[in-house]
Amino acid sequence: MYKPTSICVITGCVAIVRLAVTLGALAFMAPQVQANSSSNTSTTEECVILLHGLARTSSSMNDLQAALLDAGFAVAKIDYPSRKFTVEQLAAPAIEKGLRLCAEQGATKNHVVSHSMGGILFRQYVAEYGAEQFARTVMLAPPNKGSEAVDALRDVPGFDFLNGPAGLQMGTDSTSLPLKLGPAISDVAVIAGTFSINLMLSTFLPDPDDGKVSVESSRLKGMCAHLQVHVSHPFIMEDEEVISEVISYLRTGRFISDKAEYPDCAYR
């Protein structure tokens, strides 16, 4: 991060510091480092495809993977270059790789667990190819209605570099891809965070929010369940309570928490 120096005037220093803070907040996640896709080598009837979020890698889903394996699921943990292509270009290669890895493990039922933009990849895929191959999907902190933070910061220098073309699609204006995708056409549950560690981005978001996505934006027409948890966006997929809720929903179609919402759903 830039630091003010004694040779700059006060206004110049403040501008530099503000720019540094802004650029640090622009990336929805940590810098992306490639990691290999991984899967369970045992044979099981049920397999879970894990899709990470924007500017993350499959390693961000390691805790989920371990818990799912312990719970008896096969796992296909997928890496995709989230900052290099549009969602339309990313969705099919990522999810079809997951389906292939699940099939190789003998799975006959495929679930999906996504974080953030990973949920939009799933929605893009089923909009093109249908949802017949999927049983249950749990989306963690998905920007299903876009994020106002993208609207506010898309024109700031460095945003497109840090977030790529897919990141630019995550707003709420006329360019928003999530708003152009349809309602759920399979059993989809959403877990939304209500705790923010990014107070700057939260100023652009309706309350409550997780620092990247508002609770309202996480909601998807046609979803079968919705749960709010006091967890922040970058860490929701690592939270022990959230992981337990994910496993419960995949097994039973119900969350553990008595605070969960179950709207009318055609796929439950």
We report the CATH number of the domain holding residue 98 as 3.40.50.1820
**In sequence order, which residues have a C-beta less than 8 Å from that of residue 198 and are 6 or more positions away?**
25, 211, 212, 232, 233
Q: Is residue 86 part of a domain?
A: yes
Q: Report, as an integer, the average pLDDT of 138-154.
A: 97
pLDDT, residue 5, reads: 34
Instruction: Check pLDDT > 80 for residue 16.
Output: no
pLDDT, residue 43, reads: 55
Q: Is residue 20 part of a domain?
A: no
Look at the block and give the residue holding tokens 């990691």. 35
Encode pLDDT of 171-208 as tens digits.
999 999 999 999 999 999 999 999 999 999 999 999 99
- Number of domains the chain is built from: 1
Q: Is residue 262 part of a domain?
A: no
Q: What is the mean pLDDT of the chain?
A: 87
**CA triple 118-217-141, angle to 5 deg:** 40
Instruction: Check pLDDT > 70 for residue 20.
Output: no
pLDDT, residue 268, reads: 85
Q: Is residue 7 part of a domain?
A: no
Instruction: Check pLDDT > 90 for residue 38.
Output: no
pTM (predicted TM-score): 0.86
Residue 245 is part of which domain span?
A: 31-252
Q: Is residue 6 part of a domain?
A: no
